[in-house]
Structure 1
Amino acid sequence: MKITRFGGVAALALAGALALTSCASNEAPPAGGDDEPTSDLSGTFNGAGASSQGSAQEAWVAAFQTANPAVTINYDPSGSGAGRGTFIAGGADWAGSDSALSDDELAGDFAACAAGTKPIDIPTYISPIAVIFNVEGVDELNLDATTIAHIFKGDITNWNDPAIAALNEGTTFPDLAITAVHRSDDSGTTKNFADYLFQVAPDVWTEKPADAFPFQTGEGAQGTSGVVDAVTNGVGTIGYADASKAGDLGVAKIKVGDEFVAFTPEAAAAVVAESPLVEGRGEFDLAFQLNRTTTDPSHYPLVLVSYSIVCSEYADAAKGAFVKAYIGYITSPEGQQVAADAAGAAPLSSELSAKVAAAVASIK
């Protein structure tokens, strides 16, 4: 087993040295020299939410548990909406969510938080959303937002539709029905996908973005893995999923300005870097209002920012200490590199990292 350690003093203070192992393992790291850092964190802690974070969470949990052998972490990739609900009810110590808390949610009570305090949204994971497809004989696909919107609304129902052909000169499409696969559960990935279409093709996608898919069309599937499985095992299928889960499926290029653009972590991160924070939030609430209307082909506007939703102050001090350490690790340069390696995520920019570090430091 290869063992690696954090290089940063701050990371050591938060989580100790890391030894990478499988997610299922919760064994202590092999005995080392006298300079081996030790951890005084202990207990079982639960997170729930975004399935987009699944691959990254597996790697983060494995590393953190190895560095903190008295800690057990359970992360349930139940979807952003379910994760926020579990956190609000006190069933999870933090939530992973591709949607920041809404104003309505913030107006309510949070069982895990100290009385009179509210949670904050901390950007944790930036990733492209891939438009995945499975059409025999078609290896490359160009789509613009308008055509994607028509497909997922059910207006375009066959792969040989002239609108698709016009964007893919030289490609012959089969006379084959389109099965558009969407998330059946409340999903922040859906909200980000819909937000892209709402901003870029507003004449077609007229429904306000939400965690629930808005139309009674196509085929629904539970979670990121469900969408990927349905597209993989179907015929003439198309769907959307966190890019880390695209695997060997075809992935469409989307039109940005006058060019068709493939996703990259860097192109996704560029959109986030140029987007403002949501107005009216607390000092350490870092929820983004993504601007997806760019025409710069070095950008990929079909992107999600996935958050760790945490209490600003916990009713249980031990849980507050754990969350501060764990979220501090996963948002550190070392933790972000783990997510890049495991899931192809885009590391937080230096400017955003500084804001995130201040937000984490504020957790009580």
Structure 2
Amino acid sequence: MKLQRHGALAALAISATLAMAACGSDNTGSGGGSKSTAKAPSTECAKGSLTSQGSTAQKNAMDQWIKAYQTKCSGAQITYDGTGSGAGIQAFTSGTADFAGSDSALADGAEQKAADKRCTGGEALDLPMVTGPIAVVYHVQGVQDLQFKPATLAKIFAGKVKTWDDPAIKADNPKATLPSTPIQAVHRSESSGTSDNFTTYLSKTAGADWTYGHAKEWKAPGGVGAKGSDGVSAKVKQTAGTIAYDEWSYATTNSLDIAKIYNGAGQYTELTAEAAGKTVEGAKVVGQGDNLKLDIDYNTKVAGAYPIVLVTYEIACSKGNDSGKLDLLKSFLTYVSSDDGQAALTQQGYAPLPKPVQTKVQGAIKGLA
């Protein structure tokens, strides 16, 4: 199913509020300290406690949601720890997290089966909740407005392009004055859905220049690892000569230089909400039933589309949830998938769900047992 989305409206909303994200959020993540304007949940409150962890990409959004929900629903205690997508899935599978956040859907096969075992009488569902682009960020003294083709990025992150004045980078940036500074490519040090999405992008667009497949764990040689989206942002901000992949909200909050990316339409495209929205519009639902896995076309040929986009999923049991926590789980997820909850994302530099997917997610949440 192709997503028929009011992408332009969402894009305008994000663009209008991006300055707020750049000044930070009211959470304790990398955001900083501006005041929240998120609407209180319009859903019915529930009492109890929930423990969750996973994707750092959605941590700013999750902190905002939790604060808004708990402000209205004083009998609820919800925690979310940004440990990374891989750790979140492991915690969910082992039963130490009531739900998990992951920037990649559960992989077919062993990972899905292991998560399903947690769900007595049911299955582990991938519920898309947060959409947002991955920025390619860099810190090169005296250089701005860089742009890259996928093959060039692949060579850089594979350690084959070692200095900023390499001919491959010059070919992409003929007007730039590039220094001979060594390149330090920064990747996530822990199991990360952002790494999985970024390496999937390289696998599908860079051809023979990327031979490391895609995975939550970084496979290519060289470079340096940093933990979490905030760790990657800090490393790039503090270290000249660096380049990394990072969630747009973190890149914006930390005022990092963001590269234009060459898309399937043959254009170097600036990362904007509208450009990212054009790629999300082309995503397809490939999961079955209430398992709403999405397939993103990283080779999109839509004019003006920014091609590196991720979707963060909340992973929960269709059946077999803790009966003492089920009401709160459904109430909280109903809020975050609501119009109010999704509208709060624009304050953090994310994008609301496409309306058809939002409707499907809300239906799946109602059926949790």
Q: Shorter-chain TM-score category?
A: 0.7 to 0.9
AA at the equivalent of 1:87: F
Q: For 1:24-173, list aligned pairs within 5 A.
A: 41-103=46-108, 104-108=110-114, 113=119, 115-173=120-178
Q: Could you tell me how far 1:105 is from its partner in structure 2?
A: 1.7
Correspondence 1:174 to 2:179: yes
Aligned to 1:14: none
Aligned to 1:275: 283
Aligned to 2:258: 251
AA at the equivalent of 1:350: K
Contact 1:271/1:291 (<8 A) preserved? yes
Contact 2:261/2:307 (<8 A) preserved? no
Q: Distance in 2 between matches of 1:173 and 1:249?
A: 18
Moved more, 227-236 or 120-129: 227-236
Contact 1:22/1:62 (<8 A) preserved? no
Correspondence 1:284 to 2:290: yes
Q: Aligned with 1:199: secondary structure?
A: helix
Deviations 1:269-321 (A, max 9, x none): 3323222223xx43000011221111223211101010000111234223221
Identity rate, percent: 37
Aligned to 2:33: none
Contact 1:147/1:164 (<8 A) preserved? yes
TM-score of the pair, normalised by structure 2 = 0.85
Correspondence 1:317 to 2:317: no
Q: Distance in 1 between matches of 2:138 and 2:295?
A: 28
Deviations 1:40-90 (A, max 9, x none): 522221110000001111111110111111111110000000000001101
Q: Distance in 1 between matches of 2:274 and 2:175?
A: 30
AA at the equivalent of 2:345: A
Aligned to 1:197: 202
Contact 2:27/2:60 (<8 A) preserved? no
AA at the equivalent of 2:323: A
Q: Aligned with 2:209: secondary structure?
A: coil
Q: Distance in 2 between matches of 1:45 and 1:67?
A: 16
Contact 2:138/2:258 (<8 A) preserved? yes
Instruction: Give the structure, 1 or 2, with the largest relative contact order (CA under 8 Å, sep 6 or more).
Output: 2
Correspondence 1:261 to 2:269: yes
Deviations 1:179-203 (A, max 9, x none): 0000110100000000111101121
Contact 2:92/2:115 (<8 A) preserved? no
AA at the equivalent of 1:236: G
Aligned to 2:246: 241
AA at the equivalent of 1:249: L
Contact 1:266/1:346 (<8 A) preserved? no
Question: Taking structure 1 as reference, are residues 38 and 76 closer, same or farther at Cα in structure 2, changes over 3 Å only?
Answer: closer
Structure 1 stretches of at least 4 aligned residues deviating more than 6 Å after TM superposition: none
Contact 2:59/2:82 (<8 A) preserved? yes
Moved more, 40-49 or 169-178: 40-49
Q: Distance in 1 between matches of 2:300 and 2:42?
A: 46
Q: Aligned with 1:191: secondary structure?
A: helix
Q: Could you tell me how far 1:111 is from its partner in structure 2?
A: 6.7
Q: Could you tell me how far 1:110 is from its partner in structure 2?
A: 5.1
Q: Could you tell me how far 1:38 is from its partner in structure 2?
A: 9.7
Which stretches in structure 1 are left out of the alignment for 5+ residues?
1-20, 25-35
Q: Could you tell me how far 1:226 is from its partner in structure 2?
A: 1.1
Q: Distance in 1 between matches of 2:42 and 2:266?
A: 53
Contact 2:42/2:340 (<8 A) preserved? no
Q: Could you tell me how far 1:37 is from its partner in structure 2?
A: 8.3
Q: Aligned with 2:360: secondary structure?
A: helix
Question: Taking structure 1 as reference, are residues 286 and 110 closer, same or farther at Cα in structure 2, changes over 3 Å only?
Answer: closer
Which stretches in structure 2 are left out of the alignment for 5+ residues?
1-24, 29-40
Q: Could you tell me how far 1:147 is from its partner in structure 2?
A: 0.3
Aligned to 1:27: none
Among 296, 301, 310, which residue is 1:295 paired with?
301
Among 319, 332, 338, which residue is 2:344 paired with?
338
Q: Distance in 2 between matches of 1:212 and 1:109?
A: 19
Q: Could you tell me how far 1:139 is from its partner in structure 2?
A: 1.7
AA at the equivalent of 2:322: D
Q: Could you tell me how far 1:163 is from its partner in structure 2?
A: 1.2
Q: Distance in 1 between matches of 2:27 and 2:266?
A: 43
Q: Aligned with 2:207: secondary structure?
A: coil
Q: Aligned with 1:212: secondary structure?
A: coil
Deviations 1:134-187 (A, max 9, x none): 011012111110100000000000001111112112210111000000011010
Aligned to 2:335: 329
Q: Aligned with 1:47: secondary structure?
A: strand
Question: Taking structure 1 as reference, are residues 60 and 109 closer, same or farther at Cα in structure 2, changes over 3 Å only?
Answer: closer
Aligned to 1:184: 189
Question: Taking structure 1 as reference, are residues 360 and 315 closer, same or farther at Cα in structure 2, changes over 3 Å only?
Answer: closer
Among 223, 228, 237, which residue is 1:232 paired with?
237
Deviations 1:112-137 (A, max 9, x none): 53x22111001000000000100110
AA at the equivalent of 1:248: S
AA at the equivalent of 2:277: A
Contact 1:112/1:316 (<8 A) preserved? no
Moved more, 269-278 or 214-223: 269-278
Contact 1:134/1:238 (<8 A) preserved? yes
AA at the equivalent of 2:310: L
TM-score of the pair, normalised by structure 1 = 0.86
